[in-house]
Structure 1
Amino acid sequence: MQKLRLVFAGTPAAAVPSLERLAASGHEIVAVVTRPAAPIGRKRVLTPSPVARAAERLGLEVIEAARLDDEATTRLAASAPDLGVIVAYGGLVREPLLSTPVHGWINLHFSLLPAWRGAAPVQHALINDDPATGAAVFQLVAELDAGDVFAELSHRIEPGDTAGSLLETLAERGGALLSDVVDGIAEGTARAIPQAGEPSFAPKLRIDDARIDWNEPARSVLARYRGVTPEPGAWTTLDGARLKLLGLAAAPTPTDLGVEALPTLAVGELAAVGRRLLIGTADVPVEVVQVQPAGRTAMPAADWWRGAGRVGAVAA
């Protein structure tokens, strides 16, 4: 098998399994480009990206670039790459960089294309209550996530999956898929086929997208919660103040609660049953498991509710 000279572009933790796989594959990673260190946490400590930390641990050259501009293109071109590999870098690859590597660029994307093209495919699949998702490795082209697909894998979405847990799983499985495609390109056996079907799009989520609308049915409420957890983070309002929702779940059965039937709650109405806190939706209640009031630490929802004077409802 031919040994390829690779440039790798990625930023978040979801890109690290792919980088580690390629570093162990026998191909040569001649440069790793990632977005610059960013302030993290309450103290706003300047912190390198997960990919930067992984690359340094692996002894790889790191290029920090907020975007793949002329300067980044010049530096990457100087490494004479055979193939560019991108996984969640957070920026676009444009010409002339797109055509700089001998074999162009390939992209690991966390959906079954053409479904959910864009920055937040896992989040939108969950919000949409899709039964399954997956990962695809495709040839990067100028149009967003529209290139021919080399390989893909399907993954069933489980009831307890959140965007964080599902992305972690797909990152591991997708890293193996990506490594296989790189080997196929090196061997000359990789073949890509055009995407088929109507595309859907997954733009980056804003904080307003994470607000829970209690006027929706319980299934939709839980789907949105799962899709925005951990980022941007589900929330609602109470007396004009934001209340972070760190845990929502389907309501326990009446038997588990030791009652004959679940209470009938108005939209946004809160009620404790035993040591569980329930909230009304458009149809059946859901359970609020954990919350974080403004300026306070995370706590069990039932403890918060008792300490808050048993407020009657949040803003619907």
Structure 2
Amino acid sequence: MDPKQLRIVFMGTPEFAVPSLRALVDGGYNVVAVVTAPDKPAGRGQKLRESEVKVAAREAGIPVLQPEKLRAPEFVEAMRALRPDLGIVIAFRMLPETIWAMPRFGTFNLHASLLPRYRGAAPINRAVMNGDAETGVTTFLLNHEIDKGAILGQIRVPILPEDTAGSVYERLMHVGTSLVTETVDRIASGEAVPVTQCDEPADSLRAAAPKIFREDCRIDWRAEGVRIVNLVRGLAPAPSAWSRLCRDGEEGIDVKVHAARFLAAERDEVLPEAGTVESDLRTSVQVVCGDGRVALEELQLAGKRRMTVEELLRGFRDIAACRFE
């Protein structure tokens, strides 16, 4: 079958899904509708904001569905009326079976990891936080379990030492477009061979990628420096690693750490207590960790803008009298 004749329903909401939608449209594929999240109030004025996918769909002249509830009878009927051959999901809500099983060729998802690694909501963050040297994108058929359907295709992508979650996100967002169109082509030609996923060991750091909460982002200065720097990289640019900067007898202030590097301790060096701040008060702020020091490069005090260490020290001359906790 000609892949350009498949009636495709595309489901997604954030920026990550937009390049793939545009690649389908620009490639001449028949996207008959887009399903995305309802408009939501945002900003100080609480004006309704459209999702990035809705904006892209409107620009391409594609009809948009924005169901509040995916099981609502009116949405199910609207989907049936589209007579979909194939569903494509990228960064969207969990679908009920009535929706994902409706297209005659099923529904596939683009996931930002090399499944079965990092099933869950934060695969890119977790891969960088864990210091992985490689990640990638996977297309897989939806089934009853989250991120456990049969794999249709994968592309591997290196994680560079200087990468952050933000830079990996950008890379995977664009790499994913070729995998999406390739997967559509193979499904249409009958060449797609779904491969059942094997489970990662239950105790593996890479078995799951759960949602990240505030306490997951707090730096433990007793940890090894490489782990701390990986945490910073994996949470940059958002939600950001953080710590509390305190002076004796005071409550302290929360500080986001946006960039840092590790300096290993000298052999046989006796280190001060973890969290101790060392600074030349001009260009350098270092924090003692479990096996050396973490040199801070970019930070953000609560209520302030992001700044370099040099900018911080121009107005914070007594930082060496503080410690991170």
Paired amino acid for 1:221: I
Match of 1:136 among 125, 135, 138: 138
1:289, 1:43 → 2: CA distance? 35
Determine the structure 1 residue equivalent to 2:26: 24
How far 1:205 sits from its partner (Å)?
0.9
| Consecutive unaligned residues in structure 1, runs of 5 or more | 255-261
Match of 1:315 among 299, 319, 324: 324
Secondary structure in 2 matching 1:78: helix
Determine the structure 2 residue equivalent to 1:287: 295
Determine the structure 2 residue equivalent to 1:242: 254
Question: Would you say the 8 A contact 2:7–2:30 is kept in 1?
Answer: yes
Secondary structure in 1 matching 2:19: helix
Paired amino acid for 1:53: V
Structure 2 counterparts to residues 46-85 of structure 1, below 5 A = 46-70=48-72, 71-85=74-88
2:48, 2:54 → 1: CA distance? 13
Question: Would you say the 8 A contact 1:207–1:233 is kept in 2?
Answer: no
Paired amino acid for 1:225: V
Q: TM-score, normalised by structure 1?
A: 0.90
How far 1:81 sits from its partner (Å)?
0.6
Determine the structure 1 residue equivalent to 2:121: 119
Secondary structure in 1 matching 2:311: helix
| Consecutive unaligned residues in structure 2, runs of 5 or more | 202-206, 247-251
Determine the structure 2 residue equivalent to 1:257: none
2:291, 2:314 → 1: CA distance? 25
Paired amino acid for 1:308: F
2:36, 2:295 → 1: CA distance? 40
Q: TM-score, normalised by structure 2?
A: 0.88
Question: Would you say the 8 A contact 2:272–2:288 is kept in 1?
Answer: yes
Structure 2 counterparts to residues 1-316 of structure 1, below 5 A = 1-2=2-3, 3-41=5-43, 44-70=46-72, 71-89=74-92, 91-198=93-200, 200-239=207-246, 240-251=252-263, 264-273=271-280, 275-311=283-319, 312-316=321-325
The CA deviation string for residues 77-130 of structure 1, in whole angstroms up to 9 with x for no partner, is 2211100000111x1111211211111100001111111111111111111111
Residues 290 and 33 of structure 1, relative CA distance in 2, 3 Å threshold: same
2:308, 2:300 → 1: CA distance? 9
Q: Determine what percentage of the aligned residue pairs are the same residue.
A: 35
2:6, 2:40 → 1: CA distance? 31
Length, aligned pairs only: 308
Residues 158 and 39 of structure 1, relative CA distance in 2, 3 Å threshold: farther
How far 1:276 sits from its partner (Å)?
2.2
How far 1:305 sits from its partner (Å)?
3.7
